[in-house]
Structure 1
C-alpha cells in the first residue's frame, strides 16, 4: 500500500466532492472513509485509476450520509443525481485547500491539524499519535476547525505567508509516533511550490531541506542531542544540501527577500562549512541583521547574539544578549554557552543547570544537564 500516493490524491478528491455540492466538512469525512477503505481493499485489488476509485467511493459515502440525514432536504437533488463512475476532473484543488486550512480565524494548532488531515491525508489517529494527544481530543480539534471554515470561499488570492507559517509549524514538530511530520511538511511544501510561484515558498522549502539534511547527525547512538558544532558532518545528506542550496539561489536571484529565504541562507552557510571552525560567522551575523529588519523577532535577536558571540567574541555576544528579555525561551542556555566561552565556568555551570530546569524538551534538558555536569567536573578537578 502506497501511503504517499493516497495522501497526494486526497486534496484533489476533496475538491471534486466540494464542486459536486458537498460542504467541506462532509466531503473531508467522506474522503477519510474512502482512504480507510482503500487501505483495506487495494493490496488485494489495486484499481487502474486510483483517484477515480477514491472519488467514486467517497461520493457514495457522502450520499449515504446525506440520505441518512433527513433534516437536510436541500441535498435531495444531489442524492437523486449520483454521477456515473468515469474519468475525474484534472482540476487541482490543492492550493484552495492550503488557504482554507490556513484560514486566519483558526488557531495555529487547529490550522496544522486541519492541514495534515485535509491536505496531508493523514487520519485523525495518526495526527493524534504525532502530537501525543488522545484521538478524541484531536477529533474535537479537527471538528471545530472544520466548522470554523465551513462555507469559506476564496475569490481572491489567499495569504501565502499564513500557509507557510502553518507548514513551518508542521516541520518543527519533527517526528513523533508513527508519522514523520518533518518529511510530511517537506512533501506538502513541495506541492505548494509546484502550485505557487513565490520566492518565499522556495525559501521555506530550501530551509526545510537544509535542516533535514542534518537530521541523522543531530543525535548519537543513545539518542542524546548533538550540538551543531559537534556533529559528524560526514553524516549530513549532501544531496539534500545541494538541492536546498540550488532552490535558495533561485529564490534569492529574484530579489524579493523574505524571512524564510534569510533563514535558509543561514542554514546554507552552516552546510557549506567543512568544519565548525570554518563557519562564516560574519556573514551569518549579516543575515541575522536582515532577519531582524524583516521580523524584529526576539527569537531572531537571540540567535543573532549567539552568532555575534562567535564572530566577535563571547563578550560581544553577551552584550547583545543583555539587550533582550531574560524570560525568552533558551535565553538562559545561550547565556550559559557564552559564559563558558568567556571562561566564567562557575556561572556557566549554574546557568546550564537553570536552563535544564526550564527546558520543556526532554532531549534538550538532558543535554543541558550534561553540560552543567561536564563543567562542574572540570571545576572540581
Structure 2
C-alpha cells in the first residue's frame, strides 16, 4: 500500500506535540527535543513510502527521535566533556517511553509542556506562541498570522523563549497548586488558539481540523480536573463545545464554507449545546466573570436561537459591552461592531470598524465588506472582499471570499 505525503502530514499534526513533549521529559531540552522529532519525521518521509507506515507511527517517531537525540547529545558531550550529562543521557532506556505514552501516575506530557512554556519568566504573548510551536507543530508563519505580526518577529520571539527556558533552567513539570493561577491565563490562551486552529485552520484545503480541536478539548478537560472550580477554564470549555456543535453545518457537502446566519441549525449537535449550557450555568453560579465566560455566553445566545432571525442581538451586544470592558482589544471591538450592525444598522457599525487597526486580519476586511455591501457600496465592498481573500491561507475561506468578490462584480456588470 502506497504512503502519501498527506498521510504523513496527518501523522505529523497528530503526533508532533506528543513526541516533543515526551522527548522534552526525557532529555529536558526543548531545542534538542524539537530538532530530534523533526529529524525523525524527515526519516519517515524518506522511508515510509517504500516500507509502509509502521503499526505504531507514534512509537516509531518517538523511538527514532530518541536515538537521534542521544546521538546529538553524545557529540555535544564529547565536544564539551559534560560527563555527568553523558551518563544521564546514555542511561535512558527504550522502556522509558511506550508509543509516546507517559508512565503510570504521571500527568499528561503535553499538559506538562504547556505549563513549562507558560512559565511567568516569559512574556505572556511569547508563552502562547512557543507552546503553539512545540505542542501543535504549527509553523512560525501560522502563529505569526494568529498574532497579526510579521513572521520574522515571531521567529525571534520563539527562539528567545526557548533560550530563556534553557538558560534559566525552567523545570519541565506541572506546577504546584499555589503556582497554577499565575500561569492559567497563558494556558487558556494556548488551548484556545489550538482549538481555533482546529476550528478554522490558518492554511490548507479544509476549513478546520477535527483532531486538533479534539486535542484542545481533551487537554482542557484535564486542566479542569486539576482546577474544577476555575470559572474561566469552565467557560472556555463551554465556548469550545458550542463551536464544535456547529462543525457539521459550517460546510456544504462539497466543502464550501457556510456562514453562521446561513447554517442549517438542525445539523447542530444538541448534545454538545446542552453540555455547553450546563457549563455556562456553572460559571454563573461561580459569579467570577471573565472573557472566556462572556464569549461562551454569547455563543449560548446563538445556540438558543432556532433561526438566525430569532437571535437576541440586543443581549449579544450587551455581552460584548461587558467583554470589551474586561478585554479591550481591537478584535473584540470588531465583533461587537458586527453584532451592533444587527441592532443599530450597518452604518453605525462601519464607523466603528473603520477606526480599528486590523489590516492584517482577514476577518476585519470580510466584516467591512459585508457592511459596505449592505450599505449599497458595491465597488468598495468588492475591494474589501479581495483584501480579505489575500489575507487568508485557508483555501476554503479564500474561495468563499473570492466568490463574494466575483458575485459583486457580476452584479455591477448586469446593473443590479
TM-score bucket (shorter structure)? 0.7 to 0.9
Equivalent in the alignment of 1:270: 302
Equivalent in the alignment of 2:151: none
Alignment check: 8 A CA contact 1:16 1:55 kept: no
Alpha-carbon deviations, 1:193-220, whole Å to 9, x = none?
3134232223223222322332343344
From 41, 57, 71, the counterpart of 1:64: 71
Change (3 A) 1:320 1:5: closer
The question of 1:166 aligning with 2:166 is answered: no
Paired residues for 1:222-371 under 5 Å: 223-311=255-343, 313-314=344-345, 317-323=346-352, 325-329=354-358, 334=367, 337-338=370-371, 341=374, 344-345=375-376, 348-359=377-388, 360-361=391-392, 362-363=398-399, 365-370=401-406
Alpha-carbon deviations, 1:344-375, whole Å to 9, x = none?
43xx3133123123212324532441563476
Q: Distance in 2 between matches of 1:267 and 1:24?
A: 37
Compute the displacement of 1:277 (Å): 0.9
Compute the displacement of 1:106 (Å): 6.5
Alignment check: 8 A CA contact 1:217 1:236 kept: yes
Equivalent in the alignment of 2:26: 17
Q: Distance in 2 between matches of 1:349 and 1:178?
A: 29
Q: Distance in 2 between matches of 1:277 and 1:11?
A: 47
Alignment check: 8 A CA contact 1:130 1:177 kept: no
Q: Distance in 1 between matches of 2:205 and 2:256?
A: 20
Q: Distance in 2 between matches of 1:139 and 1:331?
A: 25
Equivalent in the alignment of 1:98: 114
Q: Distance in 2 between matches of 1:36 and 1:85?
A: 21
Compute the displacement of 1:299 (Å): 2.6
Alignment check: 8 A CA contact 2:128 2:187 kept: no
Q: Distance in 1 between matches of 2:329 and 2:219?
A: 28
Number of equivalent positions: 359
Compute the displacement of 1:35 (Å): 7.8
Alignment check: 8 A CA contact 2:195 2:217 kept: no
Equivalent in the alignment of 1:372: 408
Change (3 A) 1:351 1:91: same
From 91, 106, 112, the counterpart of 1:82: 91
Alpha-carbon deviations, 1:168-217, whole Å to 9, x = none?
33333333449955641441343133134232223223222322332343
Change (3 A) 1:141 1:184: farther
Alignment check: 8 A CA contact 1:164 1:204 kept: yes
Alpha-carbon deviations, 1:301-342, whole Å to 9, x = none?
23223323323x41xx5335424544544566545544655x
Alpha-carbon deviations, 1:63-117, whole Å to 9, x = none?
33222221232244543761556574632254441133346747958944x4356
Q: Could you say what secondary structure the match of 1:296 adopts?
A: coil
Alpha-carbon deviations, 1:14-42, whole Å to 9, x = none?
45414xxx433324445666788999799
The range that moved more, 69-78 or 101-110, is 101-110
Alignment check: 8 A CA contact 1:224 1:367 kept: no
- TM-score computed with the length of structure 1 as normaliser: 0.73
Q: Distance in 2 between matches of 1:16 and 1:102?
A: 16
Larger Rg: 1
Alignment check: 8 A CA contact 1:190 1:205 kept: no
Compute the displacement of 1:260 (Å): 1.4
Q: Distance in 2 between matches of 1:11 and 1:251?
A: 34
Change (3 A) 1:257 1:147: same
Equivalent in the alignment of 1:73: 81
Q: Could you say what secondary structure the match of 1:226 adopts?
A: coil
From 142, 152, 157, the counterpart of 2:170: 152
Compute the displacement of 1:279 (Å): 0.9
Q: Which runs of 5+ in 1 are unaligned?
A: none
